[in-house]
Amino acid sequence: MNKPLQIALDGPAGAGKSTIAKTLAKKLGYVYIDTGAIYRAVTYRALQDGVGLEDGPMLAAMIDKMDLRLVPSENGQRVFDGTEEVTDVIRTNDVTNNVSFVARQPEVRAALMDLQRDLASKGGIVMDGRDIGTHVLPGADLKVFMTATVEERARRRHEENVAKGLPSDLGQLQLEIALRDKRDSEREVAPLRQADDAHFLDTTELSIDGVVEAIEQLMKQVIER
Ligand code: CDP
Ligand code: CDP
């Protein structure tokens, strides 16, 4: 049997990271780890408790008291803070539009590093985020930087909302995604950036199966090396 790999998928919002990571993990019998959910859970708790979203030291103290757990599930991953399940509440617009303020605090990123590395240490994993290839797992066996045009990424999110029967405004989504990308890319600590040794994959014109196939090809190259 091949050695289980550590696969890092990074890229901007709506590039398809979680969809692809989930599909790949299922196919390979790997564990899928969505690191964005960790930043979302912290943002949710800060909003609930009235902690300043740009107050790094207070946020770090809050994280210290949290008991964040990611539990693999049939549909990907469930997220708990202590006994409270926050899997769904961390996906609200309020969290989505505030998470990049929290995520750019150096104290927050430092406080969450060990948890992410610990989760990745358990064998075959597909981890998605913004800084997995550059900071969290610099030694990952395979790094992929996925992207797509902002128009396409907003369209994907819009379709998702429509399918779920949620209200959705394509223009507004495009604006929000572009703003979040800007904050994620321009922050000082661990910005959204392609690692030097990451493979670049533009998914604008690709189907989900097409992206999975492309990554499987890259995995083959890693295994044969
Ligand atoms: O799924 P979506 O692309 O909307 O976002 P996400 O992966 O859930 O990540 C939410 C936010 O968390 C991002 O916009 C970043 O601000 C932050 N994040 C990060 O800073 N570093 C990571 N490794 C993952 C997420
Ligand atoms: O995790 P990230 O924010 O990068 O993207 P996602 O949550 O996986 O959302 C991508 C959306 O685009 C999902 O609704 C997918 O079904 C769809 N999609 C995709 O992921 N990849 C393609 N090549 C085409 C569509």
Residue 128 alpha carbon to ligand 1 centre in Å? 9
Closest C-alpha to ligand 2, atom 20: 16
134 close to ligand 2 (CB < 6 Angstrom):
no
Each residue's pLDDT tens digit in the chain (225 positions)?
A: 578 999 999 999 999 999 999 999 999 999 999 999 999 999 999 999 999 999 999 999 999 999 999 999 988 999 999 999 999 999 999 999 999 999 999 999 999 999 999 999 987 999 999 999 999 999 999 999 999 999 999 999 999 999 999 999 999 999 999 999 999 999 999 999 999 999 999 999 999 999 999 999 999 999 988
| Alpha-carbon 69 to chain mean position | 15
Question: Looking at residue 204, what DSSP letter applies?
Answer: T
Q: Is the beta carbon of 18 within 6 A of some atom in ligand 2?
A: yes
Question: Which ranges of the chain does DSSP label H, i.e. alpha helix?
Answer: 17-28, 36-49, 56-65, 93-103, 106-120, 150-163, 170-186, 208-224
- What is the 1 CA–ligand 1 centroid distance (Å)? 33
**Atom 16 of ligand 2 has which residue's CA nearest to it?**
19
Euclidean distance between the first and the last CA atom of the chain, given in angstroms as a whole number: 15
| CB-based contact 153:93 (threshold 8 Å) | no
| CA of 165 relative to ligand 1 center, distance in Å | 24
- Does any ligand 2 atom lie closer than 6 A to the CB of residue 68? no
Q: Is the ipTM of this complex over 0.90?
A: yes
Pocket test for ligand 2, best of 156, 181, 212 (most atoms within 8 A of CB): 156
| Strand-by-strand arrangement of the 125-129 sheet | 31-34, 125-129, 6-10, 142-147, 199-202
Q: Are strands 84-85 and 68-73 parallel, antiparallel or unpaired?
A: unpaired
What is the spatial distance between Cα 225 and Cα 221, in angstroms, rounded to a whole number? 6
pTM assigned to the model:
0.97
6-39: b (≥16 Cβ within 10 Å) or e: bbbbbbbbbbbbbbbbbbbbeebebbbbbbbbbb
d(CA 121, CA 180): 29
